[in-house]
Structure 1
Amino acid sequence: MALSDCRIIDLPKITDVRGNLTFIEGGRHIPFDIRRVYYLYDVPGGASRGGHGHKALWQLMVAISGSFDVLLDDGTEKKAFTLNRPFEGLVICPMIWRELDNFSSGSVCMVMASEVYDEADYFRDYAGFMENVRTSA
C-alpha cells in the first residue's frame, strides 16, 4: 500500500433542526468491515499520539469533537491531514506510519479498525518500519 491509498472520505450526514446525525457502515462507507472501535480523549495540549504503523490493519479515523493533525508516512513520502469535521473520516491503509498531534481542547478521536487488537501487527519503532518498507519494495 502507498500513501495515495489513504484519503479523506465524506460520511453520510443527516441534517435536522434537532441536530445532525452521521453513521458509518463497514464495507459500505469504508473499504473494510469494522472489528474494533476505540477513541482517544483528554489528550493534554502538546501531547502526541500514534507513533506507530500496522502491517495489515485498515483504519478510519474521525474527529468526533475538536480537531487534531495526522501525519502519514509510507516510507517514501509524507502527508499531513487536519481532522476537524465529524462527517469526514481519514482512511488509513496498512504499511503507513502515523503520528497525531495538535489536539485541540476537548477533542475526541474515534478510530474504527478492520481487526481486533493484535500486538504482532504493530511497528513500534520507525527504524523497524523503514526496514520492512525497504525489504518489501
Structure 2
Amino acid sequence: MPNLVKLKTVHSDSGSLSVFEKLMPGTIKRVYYIYGTHHIPRGGHRHHSTWNALICLRGQCRIYVHNGVSESLFVLNQPNECLILEPKDWYKMEDFSDDAILLILSNQYYSVKDYIDDPYQMTDK
C-alpha cells in the first residue's frame, strides 16, 4: 500500500534539513532522479521485490498508484514529503511541472527481471 509520509525536518535561520531514514526495509542501494521530462509520463510498472521512495525536490508531479485492490493519486510538491511504494504498487509518474526534479531511492540494484510492466486489471463493482 502506498504511504505518503512527512519527513523529519529541522528548520533554522540557515535553511531546512529533511531526513530520510527507517522508512523502507533494507538499505538504500540505488538513487536516481528524473527531470526535464517535457510532460511525458514515466514509470508504468511495479516490482517483484524493490521498494521505492519518491521525493519531489523541486516543482511538482502526480503519482498514480494501483496496488491490485485500490487506486490512489498523489501530488508531490513538497521536498519534505516522501511517497513510499511497496513492490506490489504499480505506479505511473505524470504531469511533471517544467522545473520538477523527482528523486527516487530504491532498496535494490537495477535489474530488468524485477520489473512487472503489466498493470492490474480493473475490477467491476
CA distance in 2, matches of 1:31, 1:53: 16
TM-score when normalising by structure 2: 0.89
Structure 2 residue 39 is the aligned partner of structure 1 residue 42: no
Identity across the alignment (%): 27
Structure 1 residue 31: Cα displacement: 2.2
Per residue, is there more strand in 1 or in 2?
2
TM-score when normalising by structure 1: 0.82
Amino acid at match of 1:21: L
**Secondary structure, counterpart of 2:105 in structure 1:** strand
Amino acid at match of 2:13: V
| Residues 29-67 of structure 1: CA deviation (Å, up to 9, x unaligned) | x1222111110011113x101111111110110011110
Amino acid at match of 2:34: L
Q: How does 1:119-130 map to 2 (within 5 A)?
A: 119-126=112-119
* Counterpart position of 1:110: 103
CA distance in 1, matches of 2:41, 2:95: 7
* Counterpart position of 2:67: 74
* Counterpart position of 1:10: 6
Unaligned runs of 5+ in 1: 131-137
CA distance in 2, matches of 1:51, 1:94: 13
Unaligned runs of 5+ in 2: none
